[in-house]
Structure 1
Amino acid sequence: MARYTLRQLAHFVAVADTGAISAAALKLHLSQGAVSAAVTELERIFKVQLMVRRKAHGVTLTPAGKHLYGRAVRLLTDAEELELSAASGGTELAGPLVIGCYLTLAPTVLPPLLDGFTAAHPKVQLESVEGTQNGLLERLFDGELDLAVVYDTALPAALGAAELYKTSAYALLPAAHRLAARTEVSLHDLAPEPMVLLDAPPSSHHSLSLFERAGAEPNIRYRTTDFEVTRSLVGRGLGYSLLVQHPAVDTTYEGRALVARPLTPAVRPLSVQIIWPRAVRLTDRAQAMVEYAAGLPWGAGKP
């Protein structure tokens, strides 16, 4: 029988997260003495120093403390999952679930996920976060997100993934553009034209890599980090753009007509994936979301 308690582990984790016993006490609404005593008792039970306490300088975890921290976080997470599962008899999912989504994918990916999954699992507190791909990866590994939906571009090997669908880059042109009448356009024909670059990695990296592989250099006239601003600038005839995400309408917010044309030669499709850290065991809620997302009819038959 373990001699330590989950409460003691929770106090230790709070100190490690905040970097100070005083800050942990405020977070837990306890006295500093109670928090300090919990950590001291853990050190007595494990017969090892878990942290170095320096007055006015907070605490620093020892190697043993760092090891315990990782195990304690997993144990506390499992304990919370057990409580949630037991409350419903294992028949109904409940509890928090946070999913991130790359900002250009969010308008078409998040609505069906939030709508359908919430209807199927009403007791799950589902939250969504949009951001850049690098920002989402950082938050995923920091434990702030359970899952994220991203493109399969430059992803770390330490990720688990399920593919949702594939999509390819295309040229977005103003309706009156000289190349708009063609059924497909080449990067060499586009290169001298003014370009509106969606400068939000990995989208920008992908677009520029297409030109590099084609042996052409784009004439970048405008840069924007917003998908709809990019489309609006193209709609006003200020240039073309290379995009991957396909909205259902070929008009801008201002009502200006746009034309989407495939690239020639054909480019490698990108995979849109739902990802998670491979070292983290998915909660029942996260696993259900992965299965739900992978099972939706993405593409032509919009979910």
Structure 2
Amino acid sequence: MDIPQLRYSLRQLRYFVVTAEVLSFTAAARKLHISQPSISTALAELEASFDVQLFIRHHASGLSLTTAGRDMLGLARNLLKNAEELQASARELDGGMSGTIALGCLASLAPPLMPMLISRFLSDFPGVQFDTHEAHQDDLLRGLHDGTLDLALTYSLDLEDDIAFMPLATLPPYAILPERHPLAGTSSVALADLLDEPYVQLDLPHSREYFMALFDPLGRRPVPAFRSAQPEVVRGLVANGLGYSILNFPLKSTRTTDGADFVMRPFRDEVTATTLGIAQSRSMKPRQIIKRFAEFCEAHVHALRQIPSSSGDA
């Protein structure tokens, strides 16, 4: 078998990725602890070996990536991660699995989900490291596309064809109500009962439209009395009697950080559930450690399939 002669090095690819992230030879040199001419020379050689321009050099305002440079960035990141896995695999001959997982998580999911999964995974594989990113859906998808993220824990909302999605749990929406609300004494609530009540909206991209669309069969939507992009603030506003809200991630506690309480009630209506899962770029071949973490998540998220009960327990 003939092995092709490579005209570039992993060192050049690393210089390219770092420079593409900071868009400055000077900043990249500081980050890599090498001289600026060394980076400039290495990247010029890389462009020559690929016969393609990766950067547009601006004399007064740094660098910008060409279209080819943007396309190459994700591929370069993936190749460097594969090289890291090769080295990690060699170490595993005498020890456990190791390497770094760039994990993204939807911002509203991160507090109740990500720490638990990471902690349990590290108890089995202490040699693994995590580079975590909490973001909104659009930023997570961008990170998967450009190779910044290996995988992302998120919902199946507005996914593109080039994103592979592995479902983990189906999560129906439910209402959260102040503890003293008249509907808090019922075992379930109807959307029609909430339509004219003060609505505390979880004001996140995609999420707000999903929750609002639940009311479309009624012919109109509620008008938010309060909005917040922070789930804990939403829960606090509800617990302090300022309205109701709708969530879909099961919670272990119905007490907010200020000591107030709320209750959770399922809907009597037929409502559209969301699907929690793992998103990955189809163009990136997952490393073994990424496959192992995805399998681990699939095995450990089964408990989230529960619907909040009338007692308020998730």
User: What's the TM-score bracket when you normalise by the shorter of the two chains?
Assistant: 0.7 to 0.9
- Stretch of structure 1 that moved more, 177-186 or 202-211: 177-186
Q: How many residues align?
A: 302
Structure 1: which 5+ runs fail to align? none
CA contact (8 A) 1:188 1:216 kept: no
1:298: which partner in 2? Answer: 303
Match of 1:26 among 30, 44, 50: 30
Structure 1 residues 199-224: Cα deviation after superposition (integer angstroms, max 9, x where no partner):
12332111111112332321321112
1:220: which partner in 2? Answer: 224
What TM-score, normalized to structure 1?
Answer: 0.85
* Cα offset, 1:26, TM superposition: 3.3
CA contact (8 A) 2:162 2:281 kept: yes
1:235: which partner in 2? Answer: 239
What TM-score, normalized to structure 2?
Answer: 0.83
1:125: which partner in 2? Answer: 129
AA aligned opposite 1:176: R
1:85: which partner in 2? Answer: 89
Q: Which has the higher Rg, Structure 1 or Structure 2?
A: 1
1:184: which partner in 2? Answer: 188
* Distance verdict in 2 for CA 1:34–1:209, change over 3 Å: same
CA contact (8 A) 1:164 1:298 kept: no
2:310: which partner in 1? Answer: none
2:101: which partner in 1? Answer: 97
CA contact (8 A) 1:92 1:121 kept: yes
Match of 1:262 among 239, 256, 266: 266
CA contact (8 A) 2:74 2:146 kept: no
Q: Secondary structure at the match of 1:173?
A: strand
- Stretch of structure 1 that moved more, 105-114 or 131-140: 131-140
Aligned-residue identity in percent = 37
Superposed, which structure 2 residues align to 1:1-303 within 5 Å? Answer: 1-42=5-46, 45=49, 55-56=59-60, 58=62, 71-89=75-93, 92-296=96-300, 297-299=302-304, 300=306
Structure 1 residues 215-236: Cα deviation after superposition (integer angstroms, max 9, x where no partner):
2321321112221221222122
In structure 2, C-alpha distance between the alignment counterparts of 1:245 and 1:56, rounded to whole Å: 48
* Cα offset, 1:42, TM superposition: 4.2
Structure 2: which 5+ runs fail to align? 308-312
- Stretch of structure 1 that moved more, 270-279 or 172-181: 172-181
In structure 2, C-alpha distance between the alignment counterparts of 1:43 and 1:103, rounded to whole Å: 37
In structure 2, C-alpha distance between the alignment counterparts of 1:95 and 1:44, rounded to whole Å: 32
* Cα offset, 1:291, TM superposition: 0.5
CA RMSD, 1 decimal: 2.9
Q: Secondary structure at the match of 2:149?
A: coil
* Cα offset, 1:256, TM superposition: 3.4
